[in-house]
Every structure is written in C-alpha cells, then in structure tokens.
Structure 1
Amino acid sequence: MTTIHRPERAEGQWAVDGRAPLNPNEVFKAADNPLHVRERIEKTYARLGFDSIPPDDLHGRMRWWGIYTQRRQGIDGGRTATATPEELSDRYFMMRVRLDGGAITVRQLRVLADISDDFARGTADITDRQNLQFHWVEIENVPEIWRRLEAAGMRTTEACGDTPRVILGSPVAGISAEEIIDPTPVIQEIVARFIGDEDLANLPRKFKSAITGHPSLDVLHEINDISLVGVVHPELGPGYDLWVGGGLSVAPRLAERLGAFVRPDQAADVWLGTIRLFQDYGYRRLRTKARLKFLLAAWGAQRFREVLETEYLGYALADGPAPASSTLPADHIGVHSQKDGRHYVGLAPTVGRVSGGILRGLADAAEMSGARRIRFTPHQKVLVLDVPAEGVDTLIEQAGRLGLTASPSPYRRATLACTGIEYCKFAFVETKSTAANLIGELERRLAGVTLDRPITVHVNGCPNSCARIQIADIGLKGQLQKNPGGADEFAFQVFLGGGLASAARDDAGLGRTVRGLKVTADELPDYVERVTRRFLAERGGDESFADWAHRADEGSLR
C-alpha cells in the first residue's frame, strides 16, 4: 500500500483524517445520504408545498436530483455576494435533465418539449454539459416530471450535487467514419453500474467525466476530472488515453495525462477507481479546495497513477500514446457523412436557448427528414443523426424556421453563454441576452470580414466559469466595478487567447488577462469588433487568435 503522509492540518481526507465532517456541507451529507431526499419530495414536499422543505434539503440534498432553487426575480447583481440563500432563492426551481453523451431519441425529445410547456413556462436551455435545463418548475409538479422522464428512459439522478455528474460523450459516437473507438458501451456501462449508487453519492465536490473516441477531441478532455480519449496502442489496439484533474472556476487547472493506456474492458473499472480515489483522498475541509485538481496538484501525475493502480485497480496499466492534435472542428456543425452512408446535421441555436416549441418543432423536422436520433453537444449545439441524403434539405429548411441553422455565422457558431442573472443565484450580470445582442451586432458590423476559423466568445455571469471563459479566444467574466461616479456598475473582465487541443491548437492553454481591462455590456460589441479587426490586421500568416493574443502588446488588446 502506498504511504500517504499526513499533513499538519486535517484536510478532511477520509483515508487520512477519518470521516468526521469539517464543514456544513459535509455535515448534512453525513447526516443523511442526499439521494434519500427523493422520497421526501414525492411523499411530503410535493403534497405540502414549498414551505414544507427544510433548508438542508432545499439548499443541499435536492441538488442530488438535479434541482436547484432559481434566482428570485428583481434581485440585482449588486446583492449576489451579500444576500442570504433564502433572500436570493425563488419559490421555483431549475431542473437539469441528465443526458449522458447528450443522446436522446425523437420520442424523448417530444417528452422534453411537453415538460417544458406543461411545467416550465416553455423554457429549455441546452447546456455545455450536454444536459437540458428547465426553469420555473414548482415542487408540486416534480413527481410528475420524474414519472414522464423515467417512462421515456431519462432521469435527473445526480445531475447536480457532489456526485458523478453527466458523462460527456462524443456527439458522433458510433456513426463517424473518422472515429477511433466508439465510447458508447463504456458510457452505458458506467451509467448502469454506478449512477445512483449511494456509495458514490458523497464526494468531496462534483466529479466531471468525459469520454470520446473521435479525433476532433470533442469533449473538452483537458477540463474534466477524468477523461478517456481514444487512441490506438501499437500492440493493444484501440483504447483510451487517461487524463485526470482538470477544472476551471476561480482556480483553473488543465488536466494531466497519466501516460496510461486503458483497454475498453478496463475503462469502467478505471473510472470507478479514480472516483473512489477522489472520494477517499479528496480534500473536504474547504469547499474551494475540494475538486480533484487540487489533489493532483499536490500529488503529481506519477503518484496519482501509482495510488490508482496499487490501491484501487490491483494491477498496472500499460503505458500508451497521447492523442494526436485535432485537425477537425469539434462542434460538428453542418452536414456530414456517416459511416453507414446516411448523414448527421449539426445545428446551432443561439447560445443554447431553445423552448418547448422549438424542441417539438425539431422533433417534427427530424421525423419529416427520416431521422430518429438527436444528440446535444458540449458546445450548446444539437445534432440530428441518421438523416437520409434525400432528407437533408428538408431538415435544414424546417430547422431554419425554428432558428436552428446548419450554416451559422462564425459569431453565432462560436459564442457560448451561461444561465446568467436571469435565473442563477451566483450571477452578477445578464448573459444570454447580452450574448445574443453581441452576435447580432457582430453579424452586422463584420458581415464582410472573412475568418478562416471562428473566434470563440464565452460569456459568464460570475467567476465560476460555467461557460468556460479561460479557454475561449475571448472570455468574459461578469462582475461589479465602480463607474467614474463611484457607483456600482456591471462589467466583464476579459480573458484573451485561451483554447484547448480541440480548437486546432498545438497545445492547450488558459487565457491571458489584460490588467485593468473591464468592458460593460453596452461597450461589448465595440470591444469585440475592435479586437477582432486588430487581430486580422496584426496576425502573421495563418496565426491563430490565441497565439496572437499571447504575443500582442496590451495596447492592441484594449
């Protein structure tokens, strides 16, 4: 057994310090397994109403079933950091539907559309975790929503909370001619064996997974707690390269390769070993230090691999090759041939915002074209699979009427936005409408400008980086600042030049901050237009925006 040296101060590591809870979150998890709250929701809270829900369930355990209170309307961003959870919380809920790999059928899409219209005021957002998110959900309707979802083979289990969250999977798994290995069996095995397992429902913090076998590296493997990336071993054939310890938020850190090759038959057990290692050795004293990335930073990749192999797997993994750099777009937008001769069509909504009507219309369009399968992507996009050649034009025409386009402008294609102050209790600023307005302005102002690759713009309402601001060409973090008169105003801190291997970069890297640069929402179109034109004027040859942003002087970036 590997020797683990005890730090001078207890960090709440179960395998080192024991299981005594060291903060309020650990206390409520220890008091009652959060998955047990479902029975109380169904038997008590849905019958007696919102006021019957105690705080530890309302602001804690209900997250394990994909339910958060949404932001009370009318509370501006100036109170985000000072108001209590009770003051910020409305009597309505955000509900996140767990869709591992983003994979659903047209029938399931119709169920989601009906839930949106019947229980969520028509709201629906495609997230950058391949989930679908509703708003305005009332506690009285939660059991019926669960009944409809589960009857159709969907669920909200562990969509939030300190749990194994939704598994990102390649949106073109099993259909792409370029695919190295189909990750679908591994994703399905992990979900069947481990999601909803009470023994894995008390982690130090959330645990994010990603699995792809596609050479476009389309699951952002560098920013997940664990990623399995398709590679071909010279002796063992197709399998996965193992990455661990990625994450963004206020302390961004890119994942590291362990240099280990994972055979397909080992993949689920390696996933389990990694999550159990995190459960036992992850830091639980401070929530801000409880992600796996902090443990990896303290241990290093070599020690992490050693502990994984000796204490959790019981065997050594083979050494293996790294994945090749991507040369393909990772968002899968447009019309593409499948290996069976049919086509998949990647469609872009505006920053993931759809509705019950749009979802239902998409189901109709898919069926009219002869398709039956849908996949959401980690880029807030949607793919329609298995489209016969003769159905492609019909699909594109019908989807276009819904505001879903297979040939978006580079600005619409490459802009992401988190939920923002409209519904999120952590946000300082509005994001969805700000991003939509920015897209419209850029399409108008830069209509004649040719980009050989889109410049990604990610808009986030707070420091938590749900919209991945540090890995965008232009990342925008919402915050408060003082205006010239000394009053609070809302603005965006700017990160420039971030990107991952899937963005056709030779290496992944975090964005650069420009000292003192803050941009208000009104100034945002002017700023993005200005920095785009400067990039095009100053770039060398086919230099990427990220490379230019890291070498340019600060004057060019303002």
Structure 2
Amino acid sequence: MYRYDEFDAAFVRQRTEQFAHQVKRRLSGELTEEQFRPLRLMNGLYLQLHAYMLRVAVPYGTLNSTQMRKLAHIARTYDRGYGHFTTRQNIQYNWPKLKDVPAILEELASVEMHAIQTSGNCIRNVTTDQFAGAAADEIIDPRPVAEIIRQWSSLHPEFSYLPRKFKIAITGAPQDRAAVKFHDIGLMAATNDAGDVGWRVFVGGGLGRTPMVAKEISDYVPHEYLLPYLEAILRVYNMYGRRDNKYKARIKILVHETGIETIREQVEAEFAEIKEGVLKLPQGELTRITEYFAAPNFEPQTETKIDVAQFEATDSAYARFLKHNLHPHAKDGYVSVTISLKPIGGVPGDATDTQMEAVADLAEQYSFDELRVTHEQNLVLPHVAIKDVRAVYDALVANDLQEGNAGLISDIIACPGLDYCALANARSIPIAQAISEKFADREEEFGELKLKISGCINACGHHHVGHIGILGVEKKGTELYQITVGGDATENASVGTILGRGVVPEEVPNALEKLLDRYMAERTGPEESFLAAYRRLGDAPFKEALYG
C-alpha cells in the first residue's frame, strides 16, 4: 500500500486545520450556510435531508486494518454506530454533528486518510478493480497508476474548478470490473505489438439523466505518457465544457455534441505540446510508486483447490459462500474473498462498527493486512490462503457477514434514496430490502443477476447498468418505480431500456417476479444468464410479462 510522504502529511494536516477554522466561523454565524457550502464540499461534507453527511476517500478502494479500525471508531464515537460503503469505493457517515467534523478529520489524518476530492467540481476519488493486484486474469496491477493519478490530480490548479465533477476509473484486467466505460475517463490495460503494457483510454461515459457509454479516444497510451494525455483531455474539457447549464456540463455532453473525432483532434494537439514536458513519467518514479504495491510474501501452499460439492449436502450455506464469494487468485493456493454487505432484508452497503473491526481483524490475520472496498458496495479480503477460508467464513458467521450472494439478485447496489438524500424522489432502501426478502429462496435459480436501484435520476445506484435496474420517480406526490432491463457495466457495456410505466412500491417485487418467471420460461438452459437471454430475446417478452 502507498504511504504518505512529507507533502501528503503536511497537505492533509493544513487542510484539516483550515477547515476547523471554517467550521468554527459557521457555528458562530460568521458564515452563512450558503457561504459555507463551497468550503464544506471541498472537504467532503454534504448537507443531506436530515443532517450533514461526511464522505471519506478510500483511494482505489484499498485499506489496511488500522484504517478500517479507525473508520469503526469514528462510526461508534461520532455517528450512530455504522458507515455506508459507496459505489465510489468510499465510506459515508450519515449523522455526524458539524462541531465534530474537524475532530473526525484529525482522526482520519492520523491514519493517512481524508475526505478531500470526494465532492465538488474536481477530479474525484479514482476507482479501480476490487481484485487489483490479486486477480488471476490481470495484465497489470492498476493501483500504482491510480496512485500517480491521485497525486497528479490533488490540488491541480487548473482542475480544481472544472465545469462539473470528474470521475476516473481504471482496470488492469481484460474483464472490466470497474465500470470504466461509464466514467468521464476510463482506462483499461492494453499491450502493443512489442508486448509493452499501456492503456486504452475511453472518454465521455456517465450515468445520471443522460446515460452514455464512453467512446475510445486512444487504443494505446504508454505508461510514461499517460499523465500528459490525461492532462490534454482535461484541458480540452476545461476549455470547452459548458458552465451555463449544469445538466449539460459533463464531458459526456461535450463528446456527444462535438463528436469523438473532433475531441480526439483537440486532445492530440494539446498532447503534442506537453507530452515531453514535466508530466512525462520517468521510469524511476514509476518504479518507486510501484514498489509500494509489491505483492505480499506468499508462502507455498499445499491446498490449492476447494471441493464445493463435498459441502452441498452437509453445509449448504458454506457451499453457497464458496461458490459465489471466492475469486481466482494469481497465486496458487490463494483466493480473494468477497464479504457481502447485503444481508437478506438489510441495508445494502452498511456495516456496523463491530463488523468493521471484525473485518479489520480478518485482514490482519488472513490477508496480509489488506482489504478492499468494491464499487458494488461490498468488502474484499484480496489474499486469503485456501486453507484459511473456513476460518474466515466462521468469523464472518459470528459477525452476520456470511451471506454467500456475491453477484446474485440480493447483491443489490442501492443509493441511500429518500431516507437520507435531499435530491431523491423516492426511497431505495425499503425496495432493496423487500426484493432480497422476496427472492431469498430463489437466488440460485436465476444465477448471475446484477440488480441496481436509484432513488432519483442522478443514478447514484447505477440503475442504468443493472441487468435489471429500478429508478424511483415521483408523480403527483406518489412514489413510482420504472424498471429497466439489459444494462451492463462490463467491457460489453450497455444502457438498460425502460420497459414502460412505473409501478407503486408494494408491487415492485411482484413485477420483478413476472420478469424473472418469463426469463426462466424462455432461457435456453441454466447456462444462459438473464442478460444473455434479454440480448437474444429483446424487450417484447419482458414487456408482455410485466404489462400483459
């Protein structure tokens, strides 16, 4: 893991001291809420429906046990005993008191954490594959490059006030587990004809009221030229992105209205001017950062496989966990373990202080003191020896974290919705709870099924890219839920199609049952996923099932 250098430590300390003074002025009435707003947003503090919310950065989703224990301590001491893990691989606290926020930031700084660049019109926290540095299919660990991007983007004088917020995602594997094509800039590892590893660059993706799949702007950018190339993109966006209309201010609108060919020409012109300048990465610097992410000292293992079948009759819950929550590791005898934060009937993405401490203990004991936050609102122990999986599972059972549902229908992405968010039109959490309870006994029937719920058109729950997506809307004071099908956040990216009129809250689980029963009736066999069946069949059978 990356460790703060002197600049990082001084920078975070100074920002914490500055914000403490700003909070004091707000509490005294010297600053109005409107005057305070840009100051708090620069430090990750939002004003939600009922209280302030603090969003803490977890760069590229990587944490150690000390940091996780600090997050647990903050939840217990300054909040209501839990935190909410988000699709940006961050954690949110929904109930901090304004007077306590400076103390929280001091606590975070003591473990090399902060809340900077988690809000505002800046380059946000860079996200990546939750299995980075561990996955068997990985071309390269993307985290060193993500860290370099973090350092480049922090306090960048030209990009601290962009037309709109700006999000970057990066993956080092051919299978996209970071939704890179739905970010302002997406990066995928690639190799050239000589076998050198570089980056495919996508630009102009995003969700919200105008969902768009990013366009490829370059099929290969070498490591050493990545920062000047990204800077060129940001310069073009900063020059031509709209500031007169926030709904048309994202780079996806600029790319759509200008055309990718013109944008590419403009970027290449900027790139030509700066590519050999100070942003060109010397190999020595790349090597220095990469060394922070060196693989752990893996010991040779005698157990290299787990026979799931032997547990299906005697311990079905454990067999289910083994089947769905383990991911292949690059090192023989190891796996990555997903810890689901989606218990049946629970709030997706929430973890209590006690659970966070338990996960910290597991990371320290069984995963080389490392864990990850996923963009699907779960946690991951990236390096677990196969011989230790049972011990990990038993510890998860003791802390109500044993759900073996990763990738199944109850592994729901959901925004906080109208229970917390001032922007929401409808509730998300109760809908997610009702769905997981409805299908608790049928999940295995449906296989892989990505279900995502948003409480408003801003799409924080990524409903556009769910195999089934649910969008809460409000019509004449009534909460309704539109259902979309066919979304996909992988390398085969697609935006879901709205099937028709919205349904009332209590009918959402029954509506999904109609869709899923039709899928079961129409699929060619258990091997055909819901998404594959939809792509083969189209909208018609699902519309008919839903609306008759």
TM-score by length of 1: 0.80
* Structure 1 range deviating more: 199-208 or 424-433: 424-433
Aligned ranges for residues 150-549 of structure 1 at < 5 Å?
150-235=109-194, 237-314=196-273, 333-339=325-331, 341-350=333-342, 351-369=348-366, 371-405=368-402, 407-408=404-405, 411-412=408-409, 414-444=411-441, 446=442, 450-451=445-446, 453-482=447-476, 488-502=477-491, 507-515=492-500, 517-540=501-524, 542=528, 544-547=532-535
Q: In structure 1, what is the Cα distance between the partners aligned to 2:28 and 2:251?
A: 34
Pairwise CA distance, 1:272: 2.3
Aligned ranges for residues 30-179 of structure 1 at < 5 Å?
41-46=19-24, 49=27, 51-72=29-50, 92-179=51-138
Pairwise CA distance, 1:253: 1.0
* Deviation readout 1:510-533 (Å, 9 max, x if unpaired): 111123x21222111111111101
DSSP 3-state at the match of 1:60: helix
Check conservation: 1:276, 1:312, Cα contact below 8 A.
no
Check conservation: 1:338, 1:344, Cα contact below 8 A.
no
Q: In structure 2, what is the Cα distance between the partners aligned to 1:368 and 1:414?
A: 26
- Flag the 1:468–1:546 CA change in 2: closer, same or farther, 3 A: farther
Residue identity in the other structure for 2:483: V
2:314 maps to none
* Deviation readout 1:25-63 (Å, 9 max, x if unpaired): xxxxxxxxxx99966531142376275542334433321
- Flag the 1:341–1:57 CA change in 2: closer, same or farther, 3 A: farther
Q: In structure 2, what is the Cα distance between the partners aligned to 1:246 and 1:410?
A: 23
Q: In structure 1, what is the Cα distance between the partners aligned to 2:146 and 2:540?
A: 42
Q: In structure 2, what is the Cα distance between the partners aligned to 1:109 and 1:525?
A: 35
- Flag the 1:357–1:548 CA change in 2: closer, same or farther, 3 A: farther
Aligned match for 2:540, one of 552, 555, 558: 552
Check conservation: 2:198, 2:223, Cα contact below 8 A.
yes
* Structure 1 range deviating more: 398-407 or 416-425: 398-407
Check conservation: 1:370, 1:391, Cα contact below 8 A.
no
DSSP 3-state at the match of 1:152: coil
Residue identity in the other structure for 2:493: A
* Deviation readout 1:270-305 (Å, 9 max, x if unpaired): 222222222222111111110000110122222212
Pairwise CA distance, 1:397: 1.6
* Structure 1 range deviating more: 409-418 or 358-367: 409-418
Residue identity in the other structure for 1:300: G
Check conservation: 1:472, 1:498, Cα contact below 8 A.
yes
- Flag the 1:441–1:332 CA change in 2: closer, same or farther, 3 A: closer
DSSP 3-state at the match of 2:338: strand
Q: In structure 2, what is the Cα distance between the partners aligned to 1:521 and 1:124?
A: 26
Check conservation: 1:109, 1:363, Cα contact below 8 A.
yes
Pairwise CA distance, 1:315: 7.2
Check conservation: 1:126, 1:380, Cα contact below 8 A.
yes
Q: In structure 2, what is the Cα distance between the partners aligned to 1:410 and 1:99?
A: 23
- Flag the 1:408–1:527 CA change in 2: closer, same or farther, 3 A: same
Pairwise CA distance, 1:389: 3.2
Residue identity in the other structure for 1:246: G
DSSP 3-state at the match of 1:219: coil
* Structure 1 range deviating more: 189-198 or 104-113: 189-198
Pairwise CA distance, 1:125: 0.8
Pairwise CA distance, 1:419: 1.1
Q: In structure 2, what is the Cα distance between the partners aligned to 1:367 and 1:316?
A: 42
- Flag the 1:54–1:198 CA change in 2: closer, same or farther, 3 A: farther
DSSP 3-state at the match of 1:243: strand
Q: In structure 2, what is the Cα distance between the partners aligned to 1:231 and 1:131?
A: 27
- Flag the 1:52–1:470 CA change in 2: closer, same or farther, 3 A: same
Residue identity in the other structure for 1:533: D
Check conservation: 2:453, 2:470, Cα contact below 8 A.
yes
- Flag the 1:283–1:258 CA change in 2: closer, same or farther, 3 A: same
Check conservation: 1:58, 1:69, Cα contact below 8 A.
no
* Deviation readout 1:415-453 (Å, 9 max, x if unpaired): 110011121101122212320221111113x26x623x3
Residue identity in the other structure for 1:257: E
Check conservation: 1:366, 1:395, Cα contact below 8 A.
no
DSSP 3-state at the match of 1:498: coil
Pairwise CA distance, 1:386: 2.3
Sequence identity (%): 26
- Flag the 1:183–1:37 CA change in 2: closer, same or farther, 3 A: closer
Q: In structure 2, what is the Cα distance between the partners aligned to 1:477 and 1:153?
A: 37
2:315 maps to none
Check conservation: 1:98, 1:132, Cα contact below 8 A.
yes
Check conservation: 1:411, 1:439, Cα contact below 8 A.
no
- Flag the 1:547–1:121 CA change in 2: closer, same or farther, 3 A: same
2:7 maps to none
Aligned residue pair count:
479
Instruction: Flag the structure with higher strand content.
Output: 1
* Deviation readout 1:61-120 (Å, 9 max, x if unpaired): 321211101212xxxxxxxxxxxxxxxxxxx31111111210010111001111111111
Q: In structure 2, what is the Cα distance between the partners aligned to 1:332 and 1:220?
A: 20
Check conservation: 2:181, 2:213, Cα contact below 8 A.
yes
Q: Which runs of 5+ in 2 are unaligned?
A: 1-12, 277-322, 343-347
- Flag the 1:230–1:249 CA change in 2: closer, same or farther, 3 A: same
Residue identity in the other structure for 1:489: T
- Flag the 1:259–1:282 CA change in 2: closer, same or farther, 3 A: same
Pairwise CA distance, 1:173: 1.7
* Structure 1 range deviating more: 258-267 or 242-251: 258-267
RMSD: 2.5
